[in-house]
Amino acid sequence: MRSFPQVPTVPWLSMSTRMYLEGMPCLNIDRERKVISFDLSPAREGELVEFYDRYLGGDLDYFATSPRYNAVLYRLAEILGEMQSPGVAFIHFQIPGPYTFGLQIKDESGAPCFYNNDMRDLVVKQLAMKVRWYKREIRRVFSGAPLLLQLGEPALVVYGSATGTGSWEEIQGALDEVTEAVGADEGMTSIHCCANFDWSLLMRTKAQVIHFDAYHYGETMSLYGEALRRYLGRGGTIAWGIVPTTGGTTGRADVEDEDPGKLIKRLEGYMESLVEKGIDRETLIRSSWISSSCETATLPEGLAERVFEFTSQVSRQMKGQDPFD
């Protein structure tokens, strides 16, 4: 809140996905093996019927996330209710993307459920209803600001690898369905991938923002100049994750060896390479956000604060100057 008063964020303090499973039917949770899988046997058909009845009926309470699994959300609601600040530009929250989530949950054979049409539909509709529930709850305490949903998709690197399977059309369809749950007139959706990827594929989706690890992969954006030009032309935004949240080769966190000036210089080089590829300078500046490279849940509190402060400083300094001067 101190570093980003204009964009209050629902923190992601745990890597657990339990908060997104409430309401999901036909699950088997093996706590000893730490495996979550679907069981679509006839004996559990009643759960499927109830799930789709609740989905089609728009029963958001059925898909609620309880305080037991996301106490931070409820505490933030109290804080925002007390603030009611007119300067808030977005309320930011995040959930797992459908591809990443669909790789974590398994089918009966132990394969990722995303590749099963019926199971993928359950995952996508579950996440879409979670988004709608979040939206309703945020609106109850802070009705004035639009929403910024971030879909965390680190597993997209699997699709882009030699072992990746499935079709991009299936992945894009899943991403777009969850994106539509926000509502074009009520906010924006960002897709986050902290690995190297074919960014032109994400530019085909309905997401308005692409958030990527620019600290490690900033130069890769210049490989997709024409796709980027079209994406920016239709109002797309690039969130440059230039402040690192990862560990360095020396055993220290990367952010310990950086400062805002060095990060700005690094970012300016990446942006200049895009201008050289034919991207309009003013459009690029107008369509760029500054961010951390990934979430900070695994960092010690002191380093997380350093990431937040550096992100805020880089953003303020970039706003105060033309990065190409």
Q: Which residues contact 198 (CB under 8 A, 6 or more apart)?
A: 160, 224
Q: Report pLDDT digits (tens) over 240-298.
A: 999 999 875 566 889 999 999 999 999 999 999 999 999 999 999 999 999 999 988 77
Give the whole-angstrom CA distance, residue 53 versus residue 34: 30
Q: Kindly list the strands in the beta sheet with 91-96, ordered across the sheet, starting from the edge strand earlier in the chain.
A: 91-96, 147-152, 187-193, 209-212, 237-243, 288-292
Span between the terminal Cα atoms of the chain, in Å: 31
Q: Give residue limits of the domains in the chain.
A: 18-319
Write the DSSP assignment of 230-263 as a string of letters.
HHHHTT-EEEEEEE--SB-TTSSBGGGG--HHHH
Q: Report pLDDT digits (tens) over 108-122.
A: 999 999 999 999 999
Count other Cβ atoms within 10 Å, centred on residue 44: 15
The alpha helices in 164-300, defined as continuous H runs, are: 168-180, 199-202, 214-217, 225-233, 260-276, 281-286
**Among 76-80, 124-128, 202-206, 251-255, the least confident range:** 76-80
Q: Report pLDDT digits (tens) over 58-102.
A: 999 999 988 877 766 777 667 666 665 556 778 888 999 999 999
Say whether pLDDT at 324 is over 60.
Answer: no
Query: How does the average pLDDT of the chain come out, rounded?
Result: 89
Looking at domain 18-319, its CATH class is alpha beta
pLDDT at 211: 98
Give the whole-angstrom CA distance, residue 29 versus residue 35: 6
Say whether pLDDT at 7 is over 80.
Answer: no
pLDDT at 5: 64
Beta bridge partners of 191: 151, 210
pTM here?
A: 0.90
Give the whole-angstrom CA distance, residue 110 versus residue 108: 6
- pLDDT > 70: percent of the chain: 88
| 62 residue type, one letter | Y
**Among 40-54, 161-175, 183-197, the least confident range:** 161-175
**How much is the average pLDDT of 52-57?**
98
**Among 31-35, 81-85, 187-191, 271-275, the least confident range:** 81-85
